[in-house]
Amino acid sequence: MSQARWVGLVWLAAGMIAVVLTVVFRTDQLQWIVTISAGVAAAIIGRLLIWRPIAGIVTWSTVVGAAWLVIYAWLTFQQRNEVVAWTTDVFIGVLGVTAAFAAYRQGSGWQSDDR
């Protein structure tokens, strides 16, 4: 399996975990909007990296990764008194940032025929 597909799978997993945990545990409306939007963006990036890994997606992955870091750092700070909540946010944040960093490091040589 190519590096692009592995990165895509990590993005897809991060997006799915973010959406599922939001639906199950989050009650704040702003958190819902932000985390569902971020999860959908991550899933789209993951899908594109799995099925069509081109170098242009690296830029989008980096942008989503930066937003992901800000979102989950904010959530971690906001929920700092709830150990389970902030550790979950740190875990999800690390998944997204790891995927973005891996895409950035490996992505310049990706072509659409990299399968």
What's the structural domain count of the chain?
Answer: 1
When pLDDT is cut at 50, 70 and 90, the band that residue 20 belongs to is very high
Q: CA torsion 47→113→100→38, rounded to 10°?
A: -20
Tokens, residue 58: 């690296």
pLDDT attached to residue 54 = 83
3-state percent helix, strand, coil for the chain, nearest multiple of 5: 85, 0, 15
When pLDDT is cut at 50, 70 and 90, the band that residue 114 belongs to is very low
Question: Which structural domain range is residue 33 located in?
Answer: 3-109
pLDDT digits (tens, 9 = 90+) for 34-91: 999 999 999 999 999 999 888 789 899 999 999 999 999 999 999 999 999 999 999 9
Q: Is the dihedral of CA 13, 15, 103, 50 positive or negative?
A: positive
pLDDT digits (tens, 9 = 90+) for 89-108: 999 999 999 999 999 988 66
Is position 32 within any domain? yes
pLDDT attached to residue 65 = 96
Is position 52 within any domain? yes
Is position 43 within any domain? yes
Is position 114 within any domain? no
Are 15 and 41 within 8 A, CB to CB? yes
